[in-house]
Amino acid sequence: MNKTNPFCLLIIFAIAIIFFSACKEKDIPVSGTFLNTNELTLAPGDTDILIATLHPANATNKKVKWNSSNYQVASLSVIDYSNELEMRIIAHNNGKATITVTTIDGNYSATCSVTVQTPDYRDQWVGEWDFVTKHIIYWYLGGGKWDYLSDTIYYTGKVSHNSFIIPEYGIGYIDIKYSANNSISMVVDKSGKLYYYTSPPYYGEGQFEDCDKVIFESGWRANGGGNIYVIDGVKKERGRK
């Protein structure tokens, strides 16, 4: 009977270890990370999702940790515990927060600046508008009313913010340029009602309908007559039908 040489067995065992070690997949280290965006602007109550991407994509250790610099402004909510690379951002109060994602392997990080801001309700009306202005003069004479349409003006004007705010009432002013030589600053509330404060007989009033149509008038009225501008406007993007 042939006996196996122990030395030969040792050599075979060593070769097997080397072979299997060579075949074993080596760990691939993380060399960096970045986010799908580095800036977000949200209103209170809004949510958005940040997605972290590791470099290289086939890195072995895909674990990361997330942090918010101000949880009163923007907090974090896990979407899927099996996927740490995605995180839901929840906006709470006006302010700024920095969201940071950091890799466990290599301690690489990426950040996103989050601004939480309550929208200005006047934004919906800001922009270019097509205005039709009718200038009407009327007076009372001999027991009757006499009307005179001075002219009709077609003009592409604009609606813009006015910096004056009445914080105790939560309302602000808006500037309307409805002809080359005429503009007006009026208070607008959240329902779109337009008016401005002035002394009689001068007045101004009107209404935005939705966000793309407005009609208002301004001028003066007295016992003897009046001088009024009646303005009909349609937002430029919508177009007049």
> Could you report the per-residue pLDDT of 35-71, keeping only the tens digit for each?
999 999 999 999 999 999 999 999 999 999 999 999 9
| Residue that terminates a domain, selected from 72, 95, 116 | 116
* Pair (87, 158) in one structural domain: no
Q: Which residue has the higher pLDDT, 30 or 220?
A: 30
> Is the pLDDT at 20 greater than 90, yes or no?
no
Q: Which residues contact 11 (CB under 8 A, 6 or more apart)?
A: none
Integer Cα distance of 64 and 228 in angstroms: 67
Inter-residue contact 196 to 188 (CB < 8 Å): no
Q: What pLDDT does 5 receive?
A: 59
* Pair (137, 193) in one structural domain: yes
Residue in 89, 88, 95, 90 with CA at minimum distance from that of residue 118: 95
Map tokens 């208070």 to a residue.
187
How many domains, the chain?
2
Q: What is the DSSP letter of 15?
A: H
Map tokens 């086939």 to a residue.
58
* Pair (93, 130) in one structural domain: no
Q: What pLDDT does 18 receive?
A: 58
> Looking at residue 151, which CATH number applies to its domain?
2.40.128
* Pair (93, 161) in one structural domain: no
- Does 196 reside within a domain? yes
- Does 40 reside within a domain? yes
* Pair (109, 191) in one structural domain: no
- Does 20 reside within a domain? no
Burial level of 167, CB count in 10 A (0-12/13-18/19+)?
Answer: exposed
Q: What pLDDT does 6 receive?
A: 61
What domain range is 74 assigned to? Answer: 32-116
- Does 102 reside within a domain? yes
Residue type, 55: H
Q: What is the share, in percent, of the chain residues with pLDDT greater than 90? A: 53
- Does 173 reside within a domain? yes
> Is the pLDDT at 239 greater than 60, yes or no?
no
